[in-house]
């Protein structure tokens, strides 16, 4: 199966701090790749570099065989890469449907009627269709998480970057999220950054462990769980 995304020798520093260090990996079309690592490992920085929010110091990123380094975020989004945020950033005074329409129409050349029908389907998928006319400022935190994912889906992503979607969730909320992501993966390739190990291990076909901006380990979820160095890395982080 072809590689949808290829990251090669990626480096990024902020001042004297190296956030990404010679990082290389690829993502196959249709795959769900999990990325884990301690705080400060470079996970969110990686997403921001892929999206063109931060330029890399060196290295290359190819999407569908084309280098996207140097492109602005809106062009990368129009190509089919879309990112969610850890802290939802909706238009607070707009309704849920209006939030999705803004994202959909700005990222894809769709007429209003077509975009509306598609966004209604997305709201149904994430379980928010009954709240389509509610302003975002009136949502509960868990509903805001769903809205953030819905806004990304309204852009019709080929590659979806999920940045800690389970943060702040617990119990059945996490189960619902896992079920939702399993639905999304039927039509999109996904890179999942997540601290909740149970989420990553249940969803991912392959897991990359980052540490200090570098690839520390790569394998299946089962291999990651069995690797003593990975276990020590996480135990050491929690003991600090």
- Tens digits of per-residue pLDDT, 129-180? 999 999 999 999 999 999 999 999 999 999 999 999 999 898 999 999 999 9
Q: Please report the pLDDT score of residue 240 as a whole number.
A: 47
Mean pLDDT of the chain: 94
Same domain, 206 and 129: no
Distance CA 54, CA 13 (A): 10
Distance CA 198, CA 181 (A): 14
Same domain, 167 and 220: yes
Same domain, 12 and 89: no
- Tens digits of per-residue pLDDT, 81-126? 999 998 898 999 999 999 999 999 988 777 899 999 999 999 999 9
Which of 156, 184, 217 delimits the end of a domain? Answer: 156
Contact 216, 47 (CB under 8 A): no
Residues near 209 by beta carbon (within 8 Å), at least 6 away in sequence: 35, 36, 37, 215, 216, 217, 218, 224, 230, 233
Which of 156, 189, 215 delimits the end of a domain? Answer: 156
202: left (phi over 0), alpha (psi -120 to 50) or beta: alpha
Q: Please report the pLDDT score of residue 236 as a whole number.
A: 61
Same domain, 67 and 96: no
Percent of residues, the chain, with pLDDT higher than 70: 97
Domain count, the chain: 2
- Tens digits of per-residue pLDDT, 57-78? 999 999 999 999 999 999 999 9
Which of 98, 121, 156 delimits the end of a domain? Answer: 156
Determine the structural domain holding residue 102 and report its residue range: 83-156
Same domain, 165 and 76: yes
Same domain, 59 and 103: no
Distance CA 51, CA 73 (A): 5
């Amino acid at each position: 199966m072809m590689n949808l995304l290829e990251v090669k020798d990626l480096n990024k520093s902020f001042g004297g701090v190296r956030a990404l260090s010679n990082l290389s990996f690829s993502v196959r079309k249709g795959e769900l790749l999990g990325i884990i690592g301690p705080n400060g490992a470079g996970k969110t920085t990686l997403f921001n570099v892929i999206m063109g929010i931060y330029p890399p110091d060196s290295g290359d990123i190819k999407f569908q065989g084309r280098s996207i380094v140097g492109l602005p975020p809106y062009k990368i989004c129009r190509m089919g890469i879309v990112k969610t945020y850890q802290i939802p950033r909706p238009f607070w005074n707009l309704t849920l449907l209006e939030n999705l329409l803004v994202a959909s129409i700005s990222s894809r050349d769709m007429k209003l009627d077509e975009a509306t029908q598609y966004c209604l389907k997305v709201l149904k998928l994430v379980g928010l269709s009954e709240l389509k006319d509610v302003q975002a400022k009136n949502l509960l935190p868990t509903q805001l998480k769903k809205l953030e994912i819905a806004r990304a889906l309204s852009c019709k992503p080929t590659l979806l970057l999920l940045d800690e979607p389970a943060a702040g969730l617990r119990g059945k909320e996490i189960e619902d999220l896992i079920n939702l992501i399993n639905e999304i993966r039927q039509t999109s390739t996904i890179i999942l950054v997540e601290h909740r190990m149970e989420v990553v291990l249940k969803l991912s076909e392959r897991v990359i462990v980052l540490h200090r901006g570098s690839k520390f380990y790569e394998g299946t979820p089962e291999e990651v769980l069995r690797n003593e160095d990975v276990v020590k890395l996480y135990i050491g982080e929690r003991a600090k």
